[in-house]
Amino acid sequence: MKVAVVGATGLVGSEILKVLAERNFPVTELIPVASERSVGKQVEFKGKQYTVVGFDDAIKMQPNVAIFSAGGGTSLELAPKFAAAGITVVDNSSAWRMDETKKLIVPEINAHTLTLEDKIIANPNCSTIQMVVVMNPLHKKYKIKRVVVSTYQSVTGTGKAAVDQLFAEREGRTDVPAVYPHKIDLNVLPHIDVFLDNGYTKEEMKMVNETKKIMMDDSIQVTATTVRIPTIGGHSESVNIEFENDFDVEEMKQILAEEEGIILQDDPKNAIYPMPITAHGKDEVFVGRIRRDFTQPNTVNMWIVADNLRKGAATNAVQICEALAKNGLI
């Protein structure tokens, strides 16, 4: 099993290498790949050093699968070249997510739809992934009508430069270029990605459109407000879900507690609820603060947290590869 990691020196690429090692994915040969300025650098995987190669060399080395985390422009240009060489691509960028010819995969929900013909597979947006993992078993039981979500997203979602900005501000330094339009330390920015003509940001519309595609149900209505906050452990979401059918809160908690990949943390009297600081470095999605919305029927409020670099990116991508390997598709 030859595995290429494209963008291996970046924040998510480094996390992919960690997750591949931790989950013992059967890598027989690792091919770390990056742009020309990083070619020749060394990365570590399972205690060994590997030399970063360029894109053309990586294609010649014929990996079984290439996990891309190198930005949308790179993916649009290079993923088709890898695919044309018979290499299955799992792409972390937004480049292919809403392409009607490409699958958008969260393994717990729709890995069963993958076939040998799927040579470019899209990994969803981090904030969408953690929400739909929780929504899916509830949708099966109670049928979701509408979702109102407000996110509280880590600076790690923007990348290393954003983490550097946060800590430079915290230390009172001005030697680091700003990646946000305003200060992020001790602040909150209701602005992730660019604003669109409808007044929503691109990030907000990703959550709307990707949810329908992953859940394979266009009837689910989603409205989102996405917000950047000065944390690094993971993304948090306040989610209000309206169902067609009524529910019992305790039964709902039981359903979520028994679901693979979800950890229920719901004991508010003892201050037990999901937080980025405790989700950091974990692969699961954490859910708590589950309570009935008393203002309208068949509606629940909950709080969902996950490490955006793990389940929101690297772990989900590796889980896609696991599903491909299990079903003989790579």
Q: Using N-to-C axis directions, what is the helix angle for 11-22 and 315-326, rounded to 10°? A: 50
- Tokens representing 284? 């699961």
How far is C-alpha 250 from the geometric centre of its chain's CA atoms? Answer: 28
Q: φ and ψ at 195, to 5 degrees? A: -80, 140
Residue 139's SS3 state is helix
Out of 139, 235, 280, 321, which one is annotated catalytic?
235
Give Rg (Cα) of the chain: 20
Whether the CA torsion 121, 125, 126, 132 is positive or negative: it is negative
How far is C-alpha 31 from the geometric centre of its chain's CA atoms? Answer: 23
Q: What is the per-residue DSSP string for 208-242? A: HHHHHHHHT-TT-EEEEE--B-S-SS-EEEEEEEE
Q: Residue 321 catalytic?
A: no
Q: φ and ψ at 126, to 5 degrees? A: -60, -45
Out of 126, 139, 280, 321, which one is annotated catalytic?
126
Q: Residue 235 catalytic?
A: yes
Residues labelled catalytic: 126, 235
